[in-house]
């Protein structure tokens, strides 16, 4: 396209002055010519000269021809095809004839792009500078030839984030064409707060919402851990589509056992309800729970009808049961130590009266209560963590079956401690009881309770590192603390220690007899303190201006060790974070010897059980940090996995631990299959694009896109050329011709 412009830069008054000068010159020339020629020829010659001067004056304006060469390019267009897992869902909720599977959403897109005499993708490639991507958790460029092989396998769809990325990478006059079901599960789920897109988006919706039927557990919030005996709550959000008028049960299970159920009455096509379930755990350790909705008729997606979660049940307090044969100072200071410890919940019974004691008032004037022996030993024993027999003889009160229960309690993981006195150990008749095999001492019925001694506690090699007797972290300071402990004046002599002796009675007459021993029986732990005067380590220490804290610590640490508090375990699996399928998980654990120092020589067996329940043996290696071991495991499925570890050293078991961890895809792509055309419409509106349904796509759709792009993306000027007339041949030739004609006429008329 050519245009004429005046591009001179002389001021107007200069040109006007020049023009006036030219007029004066022409007038003078006319007057001069008229003297020699007739009016006609004079006028003709002046006219010729006028033309020449006019051309020259015209050139003062700087006339030029500007040529715009407009080359129309192919506009850029970016096509995004959603290949997330939700695109594998059926495109239509309508049932297919003869039970045939319906087309998936990705199949419908592929069909639209590839079918026909001239496929849509071919047309787009011809008319546009096309860039093609698959869209899921990221954008991946693909070629038109690979569209036929596309599969809906991406674990998530970050539509809103990736549209921003695509718009930023595209040239200004381009557009985006996206084929998607509108399900987005990136960090952004709505357009609120998002910056506007810089280029228009043509959104093509895939997947019909009419008739879409689904019930799902949209959201589940459960605590990671809970306390035994305390209720915890689980908050759920149930969402349904297309189930108006139905009554749907929701089941809350632990493993395969039903805990409770609720019923939901669906009163809308798009329905949502929040419910809260609760459970009070009784058993410690990790537990797997699930919440499930039965599959509803016509439901297309059933994988989102169930959600699993795990809760680690811990004890909030260590429950201790003490039985004391009589009121005693040992009981007072034992009670004081336990009551001051917020972790310990104490239930104690003190036998204030024996059957031989006589009473001088009616029973109702005494504060004595009947000892609930059946309740305690036949029903409630399992709810305690530790049982303490404090100078208590079973003879006067116990049926042997109660002691059998205590034995079973320890075997199943409970803790048992016996404190000495005139009613304990052999003196208490335990050599003939079922506790004989449980206690960490050997009883032969001949042991005795001795007084009038002065016994100092002496720490053994085992006692120096054992968590019960490790009162101070520094070994030397710990030993000094024990050396300063006040002497005892009474102790129970027993035949021998069976377990590990932590303290001996240091005195000539005591012959270093065991004073404090610990052991194991079945899954439980036991302790024997062969004196009823441990209270002296507290109160006499106060009298000596020493700290009573050592006695308090001894009691608390003994309780924790007996209750198998995790920090006192010799094998501990470190917490395992949430993982993804296909991602390697490093399972780390710590192993300590019996003296609670780390060991790199342990033999560790590690087992992982997946959602299918099949155990996998995982080999472990010792880390550079002594006592630490690692085993690598790669889960292949999502779900809950259980880990069990056992360690031994030189053939002797050190301990066990177990835990569980969850494996899940982070996006929850298949949780909600309902297409979201409303999101795609909003994206199109806010970006000044257009929205289409893939079922309504036809030839006009393509033209509409083209027209919109044309109006928003004008032709580009590729080249602009400017030519001054003064530099061209023809105006110059014209001036020469005029001058030539004038010369010829002058010559003809004899002026030259």
Partner 1 sequence: MDRRNFIRLISRGLVTAALWPRLGQAADAKDKRPIQFTFAQIKYRGGDWNPHPLAVTPLMEELMLRTSVDAATARREVSHTDRDLFSYPFLYITGKYEFEPFSQDEIDVLRRFVSYGGFLLIDDALGQAGYGFDKAMRREMQRVLPGSEFKRLPSGHAALRSYYLMRRIGGVRMVNSFLEGINVGNSTPVVYCQNDLGGAWERDQLGKWTNPCTPGGEEQRRDAFHLGINLILYAMTENYKDDLIHVPFIRKRLTR
Q: List residues binding partner 1 (CB under 8 A).
A: 325-329, 331-333, 335-336, 339, 346-348, 350-354, 357-361, 364-369, 421-422, 449, 451, 490, 535-536, 538-540, 542-545, 548
Complex with partner 1: residue 350 or 664, whichever CB lies closer? 350
Residue with Cβ nearer partner 1 (228 or 536): 536
Minimum distance from residue 229 beta carbon to partner 1 (Å)? 15
Q: Helix, strand, or coil here: 646?
A: strand
What's the CA gap between 579 and 664, in Å, rounded? Answer: 6
Smallest separation, CB 373 to partner 1 (Å): 13
Strands 225-227 and 717-724: unpaired
| CB < 8 Å & 24+ apart, contacts of 258-263 | 259/289
Please name which of 358, 337, 355, 344 lies closest in space to residue 393, comparing C-alpha atoms.
355
Min CB(548)–partner 1 separation in Å: 6
- Report the nearest approach of partner 1 to the CB of residue 441 (Å): 20
Q: Which is nearer to partner 1, 246 or 335 (CB)?
A: 335
Between vectors from CA 589 to CA 588 and to CA 595, what angle results, nearest 5°? 155
Residue 402 is inside which H or E element, if any? Answer: helix 400-411
Q: Is 22 exposed, middle or buried (0-12, 13-18, 19+ CB in 10 A)?
A: middle
Can you tell me the distance from the alpha carbon of 59 to that of 354, in angstroms, rounded to the nearest whole number? 137
| CA 294/CA 305 separation, integer angstroms | 7
CB atoms within 10 A of CB 294: 13
- Alpha-carbon distances, residue 617 vs 69, 303, 589, 631, 650 (angstroms): 75, 29, 15, 10, 21
| Pairing of β 639-649 and β 318-324 | unpaired
Which lies closer to partner 1 via its Cβ, residue 14 or residue 368? 368
423 versus 498: smaller Cβ distance to partner 1? 423
- Which one, 97 or 370, has the nearer CB to partner 1? 370
Q: CB 651 → partner 1: shortest distance, Å?
A: 44
- Cβ atoms of 194 and 159 within 8 Å: the answer is no
- Closest to partner 1 by CB, 429 vs 467, is 429
**Nearer to partner 1 by C-beta: 430 or 491?**
491
Shortest separation between residue 364's beta carbon and partner 1, angstroms: 5
- Burial pattern 110-139, b for ≥16 Cβ within 10 A else e, equals bebbeeeeebbbeebbeebebbbbbbbbeb
CB of 324 to partner 1, least distance (A): 8
CB of 540 to partner 1, least distance (A): 5
DSSP element (H, E) containing 112? helix 105-114
Question: In this structure, how many other beta carbons lie within 10 angstroms of the beta carbon of residue 391?
Answer: 26
Q: How far is the CB of 332 from partner 1 (least distance, A)?
A: 5
Query: In the complex with partner 1, which residue's Cβ is closer, 147 or 376?
Result: 376
- Angstrom CA distances, 34 to 40, 193, 726, 746, stand at 9, 88, 33, 13
Q: How far is the CB of 233 from partner 1 (least distance, A)?
A: 26
Choose between 7 and 366: whose C-beta lies nearer to partner 1: 366
């Amino acid at each position: 396209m050519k245009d004429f412009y005046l591009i001179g830069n002389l001021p107007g008054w200069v040109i006007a002055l020049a023009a006036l000068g030219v007029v004066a010159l022409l007038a003078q020339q006319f007057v001069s010519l008229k003297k020699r020629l007739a009016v006609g020829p004079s006028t003709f010659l002046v006219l010729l000269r006028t033309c020449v001067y006019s051309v020259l004056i015209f050139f003062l304006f700087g006339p030029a021809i500007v040529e715009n060469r407009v080359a129309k390019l192919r506009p850029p267009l970016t096509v995004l095809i959603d290949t997330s897992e939700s695109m594998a869902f059926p495109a239509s909720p309508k049932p297919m004839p003869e039970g045939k599977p319906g087309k998936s959403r990705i199949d419908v897109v592929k069909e639209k792009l590839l079918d026909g005499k001239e496929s849509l993708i071919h047309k787009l490639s011809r008319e546009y500078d096309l860039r093609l991507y698959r869209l899921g958790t990221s954008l991946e460029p693909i070629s038109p030839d690979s569209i036929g092989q596309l599969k809906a396998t991406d674990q998530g769809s970050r539509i809103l984030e990736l549209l921003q990325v695509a718009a930023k990478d595209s040239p200004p006059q381009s557009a985006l064409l996206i084929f998607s079901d509108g399900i987005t599960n990136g960090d952004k789920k709505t357009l609120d707060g998002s910056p506007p897109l810089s280029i228009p988006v043509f959104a093509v919706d895939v997947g019909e919402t009419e008739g879409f039927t689904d019930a799902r557990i949209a959201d589940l919030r459960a605590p990671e851990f809970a306390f035994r005996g305390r209720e915890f709550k689980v908050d759920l959000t149930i969402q349904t589509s297309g189930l108006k008028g139905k009554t749907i049960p929701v089941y809350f299970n632990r493993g395969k056992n039903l805990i409770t159920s609720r019923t939901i009455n669906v009163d809308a096509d798009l329905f949502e309800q929040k419910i809260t379930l609760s459970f009070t755990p009784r058993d410690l350790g990790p537990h797997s729970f699930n919440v499930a909705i039965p599959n509803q008729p016509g439901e297309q997606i059933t994988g989102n009808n169930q959600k699993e979660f795990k809760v680690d049940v811990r004890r909030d307090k260590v429950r201790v049961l003490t039985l004391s044969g009589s009121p005693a100072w040992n009981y007072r200071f034992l009670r004081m130590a336990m009551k001051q410890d917020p972790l310990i919940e104490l239930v104690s019974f003190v036998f204030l009266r024996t059957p031989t004691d006589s009473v001088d008032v009616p029973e109702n004037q005494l504060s004595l209560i009947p000892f609930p022996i059946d309740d305690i030993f036949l029903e409630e024993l399992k709810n305690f963590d530790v049982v303490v027999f404090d100078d208590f003889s079973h003879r006067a009160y116990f049926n042997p079956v109660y002691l059998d229960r205590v034995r079973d309690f320890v075997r199943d993981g409970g803790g048992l401690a016996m404190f000495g006195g005139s009613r304990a150990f052999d003196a208490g008749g335990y050599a003939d009881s079922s506790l004989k095999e449980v206690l960490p001492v050997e009883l032969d019925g001949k042991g005795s309770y001795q007084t009038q001694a002065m016994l100092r506690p002496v720490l053994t090699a085992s006692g120096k590192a054992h968590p019960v007797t490790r009162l101070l972290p520094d070994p030397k300071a710990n030993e000094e603390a024990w050396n300063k402990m006040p002497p005892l004046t009474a102790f129970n002599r027993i035949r021998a220690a069976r377990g590990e002796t932590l303290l001996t009675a240091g005195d000539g007459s005591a012959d270093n007899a065991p004073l404090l021993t610990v052991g194991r029986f079945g899954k439980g732990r036991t302790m024997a303190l062969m004196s009823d005067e441990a209270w002296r380590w507290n109160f006499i220490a106060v009298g000596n201006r020493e700290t009573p804290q050592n006695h308090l610590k001894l009691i608390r640490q003994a309780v924790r060790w007996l209750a198998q508090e995790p920090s006192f375990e010799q094998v501990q699996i470190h917490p395992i974070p949430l993982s993804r399928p296909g991602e390697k998980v490093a399972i780390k654990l710590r192993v300590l010897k019996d003296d609670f120092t780390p060991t790199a020589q342990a033999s560790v067996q590690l087992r992982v059980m997946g959602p299918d329940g099949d155990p996998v043996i995982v080999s472990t290696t010792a880390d550079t940090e002594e006592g630490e071991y690692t085993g690598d495991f790669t889960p292949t499925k999502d779900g809950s996995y259980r880990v069990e570890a056992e360690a031994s050293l030189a053939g002797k078991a050190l301990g066990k631990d177990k835990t569980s961890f969850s494996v899940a895809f982070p996006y929850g792509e298949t949780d909600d299959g309902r297409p979201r055309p409303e999101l795609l419409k909003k994206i199109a509106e806010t970006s000044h694009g257009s929205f289409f349904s893939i079922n309504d796509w036809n030839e006009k759709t393509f033209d509409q896109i083209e027209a919109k792009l044309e109006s928003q993306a004008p032709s580009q000027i590729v080249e602009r050329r400017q030519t001054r007339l003064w530099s061209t041949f023809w105006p110059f030739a014209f001036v020469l011709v005029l001058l030539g004609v004038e010369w010829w006429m002058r010559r003809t008329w004899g002026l030259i």
